[in-house]
């Protein structure tokens, strides 16, 4: 949804988008569960509700011949790296449902949507695809939601429709679209048709339409606890890492995504009580070191490093989340360390972050020589399989994912040029604060 681009020619192009829809089958094999003691029919029923894998998800990417060559570099990052088979079709994506093809979810996106496929697959497996689900997220930009709907899944952020709903949607789409010829994007049309079918949006905060410009730092360094599912509009923002172009920077993020997708951007906060330091880690991206005592609720606020999608002097800049100021003076900001490299060995992960030089700022003595931060962590398992302990749980298979809890971390007791941080599960009643 790009409000500045509402020219008629643009609308036409968009209407032609589906003629260039790219259908991507994800080709990893179904991981079926072992249930030898169960009768065949029950086993079949359980398998049909087993967690989905990549091969059950079909991606339909709206593109135009004009934008595609430019966007191919983003697509390659999540598409080809995920071993996705690409096919071109000229039919509307929702019309392609066939019960025999094993597709359980249809995911729609734009050619500048970057998907985090593993996280998406795990997230969708929380929902029963035999029921009607429309899963996505609205815009971060308040005015866009006022204009379209707070309950619409914005197409750039991507959204998913369960196969059972998609089949019905395909049947009624033409008749319902007649009533919405004025609507700009296919996402608004689908939203309207789904509303007529009586289906509402299931909100998943990991989808990011990113109706914003400038520096995404504030957004990426305070991601919600749910897994990162998509990023959009990366052409409109600055490269997400310094001293890299956009493609390089995104590729750099994917080095971490490939090692531990579920942890990417997840925020962990730890305190150094003796030196009075607060450290906020956005895993796989950046670490901020604050001098003094910053409370966790403050660190969860997004630093306003970005501007609204709409440009101009009289533009409202209301976003859908709570924010805090990002000081203009770089010396008043925390020291930032950006991801340098990630190494993994089975479930152990070491990620390194190097200091981003912003000028000669006077810092606390303890931080004078600090150049590198090493972070030790364990791969995050978002697995729903853990809940399969007995028969009854098995019937709920795929409908549960452990509710996420932020992890805790510890800072090495001494450090000079490099600091080591260990991320771990918090104790049962452990609080994340600078208390003694």
Ligand X SMILES: *[C@@H]1O[C@H](CO)[C@@H](O)[C@H](O)[C@H]1NC(C)=O
Nearest distance, CB of residue 74 and ligand X, angstroms? 11
Residue closer to ligand X by CB (options 216, 401) is: 216
Residue closer to ligand X by CB (options 231, 434) is: 434
Q: Which stretch binds ligand X (CB under 6 A): 19-27, 85-93, 179-187, 244-252?
A: 244-252
Applying CB under 6 A, among 416, 425, 430, 431 the residue interacting with ligand X is 416
Nearest distance, CB of residue 248 and ligand X, angstroms? 5
274 sits near ligand X (criterion: CB under 6 A): no
**Total residues interacting with ligand X, rule: CB under 6 A:** 9
CA pair distance 114, 245, nearest whole angstrom: 16
Nearest distance, CB of residue 365 and ligand X, angstroms? 11
Applying CB under 6 A, among 19, 31, 248, 425 the residue interacting with ligand X is 248
Applying CB under 6 A, among 13, 67, 192, 247 the residue interacting with ligand X is 247
Q: Which stretch binds ligand X (CB under 6 A): 74-82, 116-124, 207-215, 241-249?
A: 241-249
**In sequence order, what are the residues at sequence separation of 6 or more whose Cβ sits closer than 8 angstroms to the Cβ of residue 32?**
47, 50
User: What is the DSSP pairing of strand 230-231 with strand 302-303?
Assistant: unpaired
Residue closer to ligand X by CB (options 196, 417) is: 417
Per-residue string for binding with ligand X, 130-159, x by CB under 6 A? ------------------------------
Contact call for residues 422 and 413 (beta carbons, < 8 A)? no
Residue closer to ligand X by CB (options 396, 417) is: 417
Tell me, letter by letter, the H, E, C secondary structure of 235-283.
CCECCCCCCCCHHHHHHHHHHHHHHCHHHCCCEEEEEECCCCEEEEEEC
CA pair distance 165, 144, nearest whole angstrom: 26
Which is it for the CA torsion 216, 382, 404, 139, positive or negative? positive
Residue closer to ligand X by CB (options 191, 290) is: 290
Q: Compute and round to an integer the Cα radius of gyration of the chain.
A: 23
What is the DSSP secondary structure assignment for residue 150, as one 8-state letter?
T
Nearest distance, CB of residue 234 and ligand X, angstroms? 12
295 sits near ligand X (criterion: CB under 6 A): yes
Nearest distance, CB of residue 414 and ligand X, angstroms? 8
Residue 346, number of CB atoms within 10 A of its CB: 7
Contact call for residues 411 and 421 (beta carbons, < 8 A)? yes
CA pair distance 342, 350, nearest whole angstrom: 6
What residues are paired with 84 via a beta bridge? 26
Angle at 371 between CA 297 and CA 291, to 5 degrees: 35
Residue closer to ligand X by CB (options 247, 307) is: 247
Nearest distance, CB of residue 73 and ligand X, angstroms? 7
Which is it for the CA torsion 256, 262, 263, 265, positive or negative? positive
Residue closer to ligand X by CB (options 130, 245) is: 245
Applying CB under 6 A, among 293, 317, 344, 422 the residue interacting with ligand X is 293
Whose structure tokens read 């000669």?
360
User: What is the DSSP pairing of strand 302-303 with strand 323-324?
Assistant: parallel
Residue 318, number of CB atoms within 10 A of its CB: 12
Residue closer to ligand X by CB (options 1, 277) is: 277
Residue closer to ligand X by CB (options 65, 295) is: 295
369 sits near ligand X (criterion: CB under 6 A): yes
Nearest distance, CB of residue 252 and ligand X, angstroms? 11
48 sits near ligand X (criterion: CB under 6 A): no
Residue closer to ligand X by CB (options 21, 278) is: 278
Contact call for residues 237 and 306 (beta carbons, < 8 A)? yes
Q: Which stretch binds ligand X (CB under 6 A): 14-22, 202-210, 242-250, 306-314?
A: 242-250
The SS3 assignment for 379 reads coil
Applying CB under 6 A, among 174, 196, 348, 417 the residue interacting with ligand X is 417
Q: Which residues bind ligand X (CB under 6 A)?
A: 245, 247-248, 293, 295, 369, 416-417, 434
């Amino acid at each position: 949804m790009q409000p500045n681009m509402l020219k008629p020619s643009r609308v036409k192009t968009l209407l032609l988008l589906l003629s260039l829809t790219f259908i991507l089958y994800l080709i990893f094999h179904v991981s079926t569960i072992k249930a030898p003691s169960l009768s065949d029919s029950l086993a079949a029923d359980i398998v049909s509700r087993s967690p989905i894998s990549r091969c059950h998800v079909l991606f339909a990417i709206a593109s135009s011949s004009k934008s595609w060559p430019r966007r191919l570099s983003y697509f390659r990052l999540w598409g080809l790296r995920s071993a996705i088979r690409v096919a071109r079709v000229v039919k509307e994506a929702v019309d392609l449902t066939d019960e025999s093809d094993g597709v359980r979810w249809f995911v729609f996106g734009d050619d500048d949507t970057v998907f985090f496929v593993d996280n998406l697959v795990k997230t969708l497996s929380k929902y029963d695809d035999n029921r009607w689900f429309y899963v996505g997220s609205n815009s971060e930009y308040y005015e866009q939601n006022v204009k379209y709907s707070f309950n619409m899944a914005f197409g750039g952020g991507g959204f998913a429709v369960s196969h059972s709903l998609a089949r019905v949607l395909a049947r009624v789409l033409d008749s319902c679209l007649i009533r919405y010829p004025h609507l700009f994007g296919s996402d608004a049309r689908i939203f309207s048709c789904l509303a007529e079918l009586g289906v509402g949006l299931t909100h998943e905060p990991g989808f990011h339409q990113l109706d914003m410009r400038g520096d995404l730092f504030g957004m990426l360094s305070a991601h919600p606890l749910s897994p990162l599912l998509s990023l959009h509009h990366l052409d409109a923002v600055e490269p997400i890492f310094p001293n890299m172009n956009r493609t390089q920077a995104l590729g750099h993020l994917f080095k971490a995504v490939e090692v531990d997708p579920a942890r990417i951007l997840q925020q962990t906060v730890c305190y150094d009580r003796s030196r009075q330091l607060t450290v906020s880690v956005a895993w796989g991206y950046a670490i901020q070191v604050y001098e003094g005592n910053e409370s966790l609720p403050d660190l969860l606020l997004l630093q306003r490093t970005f501007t609204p999608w709409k440009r101009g002097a009289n533009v409202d800049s209301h976003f859908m989340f709570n924010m805090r100021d990002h000081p203009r003076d770089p010396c008043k900001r925390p020291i930032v360390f950006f991801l340098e490299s990630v190494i993994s060995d089975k479930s152990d992960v070491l990620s390194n972050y190097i200091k981003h030089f912003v000028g000669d700022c006077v810092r606390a003595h303890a931080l004078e020589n600090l150049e590198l931060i090493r972070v030790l962590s364990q791969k995050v398992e978002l697995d729903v399989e853990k809940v399969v302990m007995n028969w009854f749980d098995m019937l709920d298979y795929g409908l549960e994912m452990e509710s996420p809890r932020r992890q805790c971390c510890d800072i090495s007791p001494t450090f000079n040029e490099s600091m080591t941080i260990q991320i771990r599960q918090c104790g049962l009643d452990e609080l994340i604060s600078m208390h003694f």
